[in-house]
Structure 1
Amino acid sequence: MKFFRAKRGAALVITLIMLGMVTAMAVVFLSISRRERASVSVITDQAGAQLMAETATAQALSKVVSRMVTTQNPLAYGLSVSTNYINRVGYLPGNLSATNVGYVYPNGKPLNQNDLLMNLAKLQHLPRPPVFVDTNALGWRPKNFTRTDDFRFFLDINRNRAYEPTGLQVVTNFQGRPVVGQDGLLMTDYFVGDPEWIGQLDNPDAP
């Protein structure tokens, strides 16, 4: 009787050891799988970032070369920044033109849900990506704090917390007032402002 009990006890111990080994192997396998999945995700993000950088470089080079070819002057280049396309007037409801893109109406109010979806579908030419960031600029949150998302479509290089567009602008003095020329008209000039982000589709081969 004691002999059979000893055999059953030994079999139970062996079974428990095998179960422990199987459990340990399963845990190790899951840990390795999770780590490999995270590694693949990092590599994918790095590859995407590299492709985006190469695309931006190619676009900048094509812009510079096009100026040289157009003017037949190899020195016809200067300070330039990336700019995305937006309708300065504002988004016009019902207008299906591909150039009718914007995130606000002509009165300055933001788009409703339907018009926003229509606007996103028409972002084809140098699109302004819809990236909104909660900056927490105050550094602290009072009780009556209302969250406002910052529309990050440009890079604030000079960190003045203001968007400075590129293009033909009204000349202002040191007080910020428009300068009037001798002909009585406002003076204008071409200014280079903040670089603007240009969006790319996550899946360009998909409709």
Structure 2
Amino acid sequence: MNTDDLIEALAGDARRVPAGRAGWRLVCCTGMALAAAVAVVWLTLGFRPDLGAVVDGVSFLMRQAYTLSIAGFGALLLLRLGQPGAPLRLPLAGLAVTVAVILIAVVVEQSALSGPARIDAWLGQSWQSCTLRVAAISLVATPFIFFAARRLAPTRPTTAGFVAGLVAGAVAASAYGLFCSEETVSFMAGWYSLGMLTAGAIGAGAGRFLLRW
């Protein structure tokens, strides 16, 4: 049997994979990761007492828009990384625009403040615990994202692992926002982002080994 015959024989038993299955699997896993992260926040930290009064506030909505946008575009980037040859421009552009909007908001906020108020906007009351908590919560979300990622075919496992960790970190940051009472964009841009990047670094280390194929 020559090579072509062997390939045809192997392909003859292959089942057709429905279009979009990988995408739906990743969406479902990301949703479960968010639910798990929310449950952990509720059970360990609790939701902020005034949550019902602030859910329609600008600060709360901007924080959720930021973290969920990172999660959404990050998940799309992970999906594309797991499909060799797929274009990366759209998710990368989405992530870049999201970060740019937040940085502009930080500049506007900081320009309206002066002196110690600028430092207070960066540090808030919980800068020492925010990043650690987001990274810790992400550990609950990470297995769901990796479950979906392992069923893809990333050619760069470390990069894919970083993106998977970033998605888990963004989901964790969104859930943590249900507890956190910090209101400034500067705080969110600094410590929430650092927490997400820390989760990404953890994911990169894990992806180097877990996403090989």
Same fold (TM over 0.5): no
Higher-strand-fraction structure: 1
Which structure has the greater CA radius of gyration? 1
TM-score (norm 1): 0.29
Q: Compare relative contact order (CA 8 Å, sep 6+) and give the higher one, 1 or 2.
A: 2
